[in-house]
Structure 1
Amino acid sequence: MKHLSILVPDVQAGPNTLSCIVGAYHIFTEANKYRNQHNQPEVFSIELAGVTGQSSFVNGLLTIMPQVHVDTIHKTDLIIIPAIAAAFKEVEAGNAVLVDWILKQYKIGAEVASMCTGAYILASTGLLDKKSCSIHWNAAANFRTLFPKVNLKAEKLITDEEGIYTNGGGYSFLNLLIYLVEKYYDRQTAIYCSKIFQIDIDRQTQSDFVIFSGQKSHGDEVIRQAQEYIEENFAEKLSVEQLSKRFTVGRRNFDRRFIKATGNTPVEYQQRVKIESAKKALETSRKTINEVMYEVGYADVKAFREVFRKITGMSPLEYKSKYNKSMGNF
């Protein structure tokens, strides 16, 4: 039987930390139960592992008592890191012990999965350097600043690379758990768990949940001004040459500084601002797709649809149908 360690952080925890811990324990316990019912062996022995005898959550309203101290686990097969508070700067106190233990276990064969902002702890081990990683879209800018060596894929729901798994934000950790059940158990057990817990199986993206807000805490005042100019004039056709001249920066240098500061090229940034405006119009108005398209500065229907799908993972009509049912589609 394999061993599953669900970590219980003692500091930097947030409300979703508890949800992740309880959700992981519940789903894997149910997967074991399903195997038992079908005369198959359980896959995991499951333990909640921490660094103290008791950890508090939600301003002390709730507590969890880890079953074991991580130091007593000499070998585990899968480590699950729950979400932590999003206001992360560096690993604090007891979580440093968890970081060292995770790194040690990975080196001797364990796989590691982080949920949402649990990626902060995982990235602190160095194991995510030059690897793909997902996180809640609202934490992406801060994460990029702290861990520039990580290949952040905030649009992805799940990443899977070299025995390291990450997932997007909020309660999408449930999708990661179903993904792991299928990997470690089998497809049928995953389907069963998805039905019992009513979780969509095979969901791949969180793009349509993203609310774009340009990263402006980078310290480059010229680029910050350029961002604001783009946001105020997004419906206009702005070339990179126009922008670089307006802010008296050479084209190549402007491109380089813009990417370094925001994580997007100037063109990508303009597209994201346009599509964010289009999304809001599709969510809240009775405007047609074409009306919205023209308002945000597109004249070509095909180009608008392609960019919209690239950023949100769905067509403008699909998006309107999903988020604005009371308004109708036209």
Structure 2
Amino acid sequence: MSKDLKRIVEIGLLIYPEVHMATVLGLTDLFNLSNKNKQDALFPTLKVSHWQFDCITQKVIRINETYPELHTEPSIIILPPSLADPISIQLAQTYIPWLRQQNLNGAILASICAGAFLLGETGLIQNQKITLHWQHKELFEKRFPHIQLDLDPLIIDTGEIITAGGVMAWVDLGLQLVERYLDRTAMLKTAQILLVDPPGRQQSYYRAFSPKFDHGDDIILKVQKWLQDVYTQQINLSDLAKYACMEERTFLRRFKKATGMTSIDYCQHLRVDHAREKLQNSQVSIDRISWEVTMIQAPLEKSSTELLG
């Protein structure tokens, strides 16, 4: 192999307590495999390094690497997901100075799933939109209220920061980086060998509707629980307001303040989630499910006065 360091792209993987090691090892194998799928020797070689905090030196150090004879610095640092709860604020401080320095040196920072919590603690994504697994949404927003979330894409790439959604999004991230640093042919061949789809999925395909129940409005909570049972029936705004013992306008205002959405959007999410579950867990045909959803919606569209808000 040529020792021209300009043709080496080092990808660093950070190993921290409770890290998802399957992601670390999986990405290592994926990048090593992609090197074999290059169509042109002029393309860079992907070098993989593993980094960990050393208790003796009190520094984050390189503990493993491919092509150790080639002395390089990471072009990108990947923060894998965690098997436990997202990394705590206190533990994250162990890695923040090193991550900031890597970014200052020109390295891209990338996170997968709960790895976004460590990325958030760096303070480098205050004005950027990121993604992570939708189950972490509320906790992330509490810890980082000034960071924007978009939970529909599986990957958001802003150039200097890359974030990926769920735990298994490491496959999509890895393939996207192969295409970025090598070429599309190498990416497609790697995906073919691994029997995985090329990047392009959306996190929204998998996300279940998770209503907000911790808002503290007991009356609206009562309506929400009722809707879980009756949303497939022909209901309108007057039904909901009557059940809540409120005027319609008061109900609309209270419902949106508590849940963050209008009652009609709320019911629509319930129905879509119902259809998604049927598609995933039953043998009912798509046509039948579509018909059911259409029939449920029809009564709500009779007139503007009957809409759910």
Task: Give TM class, smaller chain.
Answer: 0.7 to 0.9
Q: What pairs with 1:74-93 in structure 2 (closer than 5 Å)? A: 76-85=74-83, 87-88=85-86, 90-93=88-91
Give the corresponding residue for 1:52.
Answer: 54
Q: Which structure has the bigger radius of gyration?
A: 2
Over residues 234-255 of structure 1, what are the superposed CA-to-partner deviations in whole Å (9 max), with x where a residue is unaligned? 2344449955993755644643
Give the corresponding residue for 2:304.
Answer: none
Give the corresponding residue for 2:100.
Answer: 103
- Between the two proteins, the alignment pairs up a number of residues equal to 276
Over residues 177-215 of structure 1, what are the superposed CA-to-partner deviations in whole Å (9 max), with x where a residue is unaligned? 101111122112211211122221132313222222323
CA contact (8 A) 1:113 1:164 kept: yes
Percent sequence identity is 23
TM-score (structure 2 length as normaliser): 0.75
Over residues 36-78 of structure 1, what are the superposed CA-to-partner deviations in whole Å (9 max), with x where a residue is unaligned? x743354333210010379xxxxxxxxxx9338xxxx995320
Quote the Cα distance in structure 1 between the aligned partners of 2:28 and 2:272.
Answer: 39
CA contact (8 A) 1:52 1:66 kept: no
Quote the Cα distance in structure 1 between the aligned partners of 2:149 and 2:238.
Answer: 25
Q: Does 1:186 align with 2:183?
A: yes
Q: What pairs with 1:286-301 in structure 2 (closer than 5 Å)? A: 286=284, 288-293=288-293, 297-299=296-298
Deviates more, 1:21-30 or 1:279-288: 279-288
Q: Which one of 252, 262, 268 corresponds to residue 265 of structure 2? A: 268
Partner of 1:51, secondary structure, is strand
Quote the Cα distance in structure 2 between the aligned partners of 1:6 and 1:131.
Answer: 22
The alpha-carbon deviation at position 97 of structure 1 amounts to 1.9
Quote the Cα distance in structure 1 between the aligned partners of 2:156 and 2:284.
Answer: 37
Q: Which one of 8, 12, 20 corresponds to residue 5 of structure 1? A: 12
TM-score (structure 1 length as normaliser): 0.71
Partner of 1:166, secondary structure, is strand
Q: What pairs with 1:144-155 in structure 2 (closer than 5 Å)? A: 144-155=141-152
Give the corresponding residue for 2:221.
Answer: 224
- Letter in structure 1 aligned against 2:35: N
- Letter in structure 2 aligned against 1:5: G
Deviates more, 1:76-85 or 1:162-171: 162-171
CA contact (8 A) 2:252 2:262 kept: no
Partner of 1:88, secondary structure, is coil
The alpha-carbon deviation at position 7 of structure 1 amounts to 0.5
Q: What pairs with 1:234-245 in structure 2 (closer than 5 Å)? A: 234-235=231-232, 236-239=234-237, 242-243=240-241
Unaligned 5+ residue runs, structure 1?
A: 55-64, 303-330
Give the corresponding residue for 1:28.
Answer: 31
Quote the Cα distance in structure 1 between the aligned partners of 2:210 and 2:269.
Answer: 9
Q: In angstroms, what is the RMSD of aligned CA positions?
A: 3.4
CA contact (8 A) 1:79 1:111 kept: yes
Over residues 130-181 of structure 1, what are the superposed CA-to-partner deviations in whole Å (9 max), with x where a residue is unaligned? 4222222333333333333222222211111142111121322201110111
The alpha-carbon deviation at position 294 of structure 1 amounts to 5.2
Unaligned 5+ residue runs, structure 2?
A: 1-7, 57-61, 66-70, 302-309
The alpha-carbon deviation at position 23 of structure 1 amounts to 1.3
Quote the Cα distance in structure 1 between the aligned partners of 2:129 and 2:44.
Answer: 31
Give the 3 Å change call, closer, same or farther, for CA 299–225 of structure 1 in structure 2.
same
- Letter in structure 1 aligned against 2:23: C
Q: Which one of 191, 196, 203 corresponds to residue 193 of structure 2? A: 196
